[in-house]
Amino acid sequence: MIAFEELLAVAYKKERLQSRRLARGASISEHAALVRTLQKAAGEQSLHDLIDARRAAQSRNADAQRSRETRRAERVSEAKQRKARIDTVGWRGWFDGSALPNPGRLGIGGVLAGPLGTTVEISVTAGTGDSSAAEYLALIALLEAALLERAVDIVIYGDSRVVIDDMSAPHDARIRSLAHHAARARALIALIGVVRLQWIPRARNARADELSRAALGSTRASAEAA
């Protein structure tokens, strides 16, 4: 069976909502419900063909986005601005999670940057699970760091549409298997105050990705040394 994470990556938001309702109504797993929903969307073509077609479309959209960004190259890069100036507006955060394999060992990474040059980096292992759990645990670790730093007015960036969409989804459309992670994240946000989550492409989340992968690399190196 095709991995749940792979199906989520190509499913439209409406299809994810439909599959969650189907899972509740038919008392089946969210994975099985999403397979049924996408098979219906595939029509006469196979599910594999549908996935390949949507991946190709996502790749074309990504290429178009990169072209637009290139045309705007004369504007000051957001990344360069973050490095060149002291951010006096508010706090910013980036999170990412990795699973090796998927599911498997989890590594989480995050960067918290604030006024006056304050920077906190996170790179730790987080047990076992799938990549969606890793992304949520990375967000939670970043929020915990923000709470310790007394951060306020935070914009947090991540490249996981699963987590970003799930955090903003209405109660009846949330992913049940990730509900305990979502509840922890929302509880932390309530303690912090103003927190805005924003999706960004993976290419703009490079440091958090490096930190999540470094956590797994450190674990592997330690195991080999032992």
Between these two residues, 223 and 190, which has the higher pLDDT value? 190
Query: CATH code at 157?
Result: 3.30.420.10
In angstroms, what CA-CA distances link 22 with 8, 33, 127, 129?
15, 6, 31, 24
Which regions of 68-118 does DSSP assign to beta strands (E)?
91-100, 104-113
Same domain, 164 and 133: yes
Same domain, 122 and 26: no
Same domain, 90 and 150: yes
Same domain, 52 and 155: no
For the stretch 32-37, contacts whose Cβ atoms lie closer than 8 Å and that sit 24 or more positions apart, written own/partner, are 34/4, 34/7, 34/8, 35/1, 35/2, 35/7, 37/11
pLDDT confidence bin for 74, thresholds 50/70/90: confident
Gap between the Cα atoms of 38 and 12, Å rounded: 9
Residue 12's φ and ψ, nearest 5 degrees, are -75, 160
Range list of H helices, 28-119: 30-42, 47-71, 78-84
Same domain, 115 and 219: yes
pLDDT, residue 222, reads 37
Predicted confidence (pLDDT) per residue in 124-168, tens digit: 999 999 999 999 999 999 999 999 999 988 999 999 999 999 999
Same domain, 118 and 102: yes
Same domain, 99 and 211: yes
- pLDDT-wise least confident of 66-70, 78-82, 161-165: 78-82
Average pLDDT, the chain: 89
Domain hosting residue 124, numbered range: 78-225
pLDDT confidence bin for 218, thresholds 50/70/90: low
Same domain, 32 and 100: no
Is the per-residue pLDDT at 197 higher than 80? yes
Domain count, the chain: 2
Rounded to an integer, the average pLDDT of 64-80 is 79
Rounded to an integer, the average pLDDT of 199-204 is 96
Gap between the Cα atoms of 226 and 54, Å rounded: 44
Instruction: Mark which of 71, 91, 113 sits at the end of a domain.
Output: 71
Same domain, 132 and 186: yes
Instruction: Mark which of 47, 71, 95 sits at the end of a domain.
Output: 71
Same domain, 110 and 195: yes
Instruction: Mark which of 71, 94, 119 sits at the end of a domain.
Output: 71
Same domain, 19 and 127: no
Between these two residues, 199 and 76, which has the higher pLDDT value? 199
pLDDT, residue 118, reads 87
Those residues whose C-beta lies under 8 Å from the C-beta of residue 185, and which sit 6 or more positions away, are 136, 139, 140, 143, 167
Predicted confidence (pLDDT) per residue in 84-122, tens digit: 444 445 899 999 999 999 999 999 999 999 987 889 999
Same domain, 113 and 192: yes
The SS3 assignment for 173 reads: helix
